Amino acid sequence: MAWYPGAVKMELQPESDSQPAIRPTQFIVHSIVAPWTARRTYEYWRDSTNLESHFAVDYAGTVAQFIGTETRADANAGANRRPDGTGAVSAETASNTSASDPWNDKQIEDLIALGVWLHQRHGIPLRICRSHDDPGYGYHRLHRAWSTSGTACPGDARVRQFREVVFPGIVARATGNATTTGEEENMPSPEEIAAAVWRHPIENQFRKDAQGQPRRIAAEDFLEYGDSHHDQLVAMLQQLTAQGAARDAVLARLAEGGGLDAAEIQAAAEAGAQAALDRLGDALTKES
């Protein structure tokens, strides 16, 4: 059994010893639909049900672990333990009684730190799960097989935070690319660069020459820029590799049920790509 050093150990028995082993390949986050402390969640698992999660994350920043991460827990339906022995690690997070509130800063930090440890300890790959049995990171409603009767868990606000803050934070910290201060914060994000590369050939973009006239960005400009920002660009590419697999699935979901049609999504992506390239061109101009 593996125990996270950042958690308070509150071992559930007999489940901890009696439930079958798993090989952890996924991390799935939940909202418990109650503003409970980590200890109150433990007491609920212990006294009121034979179900459980591996972890609880409360509002105050306490992480509790109830079962080792190499033992099955029961929070993820079809992802708990598969016939091949793989399974998901689960974390319940305190929420309001309608599961509509966002995670607070302490919960976000706890989820990022736990996600990094799971990557380091179990080799969970730094990507959002592309299918119900694909190794990676996710949230309860991401795949239908992870719940017995469908679920909105962990709520819309937390799904946005997972995609925009928590998962990118796990990737950044695990790859040594934690956010820094200073001018680098004004650089295009990995997502913006991905959109730019995806939608626009670079030879169609321009910057000004010494006489103030627009000219094409040449390959040597990027070589020069890469020499001075090598580590940052490598880290961005690592993040893009981890995040890129989810791009098509996100667009498909938006097109199917997100209130936008495919043409509107493409137009928005292209507008974002143009803005990203404009910012990248400005950065290149400043460097020259």
The answer to whether residues 110 and 19 belong to one domain is: yes
Based on its alpha-carbon atoms, the radius of gyration of the chain, rounded to whole angstroms, reads 22
pLDDT at 121: 96
Q: Which residues of the chain have pLDDT under 50?
A: 179-188, 196-207, 219-222, 224-226, 245-246
What angle do the packed helices 190-199 and 262-287 form, to 10 degrees?
A: 110
pLDDT at 149: 80
Range of the domain at 275: 183-287
Does 166 map to a domain? Answer: no
pLDDT at 148: 84
| Total number of domains in the chain | 2
Half-sphere exposure of 253 (CA within 13 A, CB side): 9
Instruction: Show Cβ contacts of residue 160 under 8 Å, excluding neighbours closer than 6 positions.
Output: 102
pLDDT at 246: 47
- C-beta of residue 6 within 8 angstroms of C-beta of residue 114: yes
The answer to whether residues 105 and 223 belong to one domain is: no
Q: What is the CATH number of the domain that holds 140?
A: 3.40.80.10
The answer to whether residues 148 and 220 belong to one domain is: no
Q: What is the 3-state secondary structure (H, E, C) of the chain?
A: CCCCCCCEECCCCCHHHHCCECEEEEEEEEECCCCCCHHHHHHHHHHHCCCCCCEEECCCCCEEECCCCCECCCCCHHHCCCCCCEEEEEEEECCCCCCCCCCCHHHHHHHHHHHHHHHHHHCCCCCECCCCCCCEEEEHHHCHHHCCCCCCCCCHHHHHHHHHHHHHHHHHHHCCCCCCCCHHHHCCCHHHHHHHHHHCCHHHCEEECCCCCEEECCHHHHHHHHHHCHHHHHHHHHHHHHHHCCHHHHHHHHHHHCCCCHHHHHHHHHHHHHHHHHHHHHHHHHHC
The answer to whether residues 132 and 211 belong to one domain is: no
Cα 108 to Cα 97: distance, rounded to the nearest angstrom: 19
Does 35 map to a domain? Answer: yes
* Strand-pair partners of 199: none
Domain boundary among the residues 153, 174, 207 is at 153
Domain boundary among the residues 135, 153, 171 is at 153
pLDDT at 52: 94
Domain boundary among the residues 99, 134, 153 is at 153
Does 167 map to a domain? Answer: no
From the list 109, 96, 101, the residue with the least C-alpha distance to 157 is 101
The answer to whether residues 276 and 198 belong to one domain is: yes
pLDDT at 150: 83
From the list 51, 81, 82, 84, the residue with the least C-alpha distance to 69 is 81
pLDDT at 242: 52
The answer to whether residues 12 and 145 belong to one domain is: yes
pLDDT at 284: 52
Its pTM stands at: 0.63
- C-beta of residue 73 within 8 angstroms of C-beta of residue 52: yes
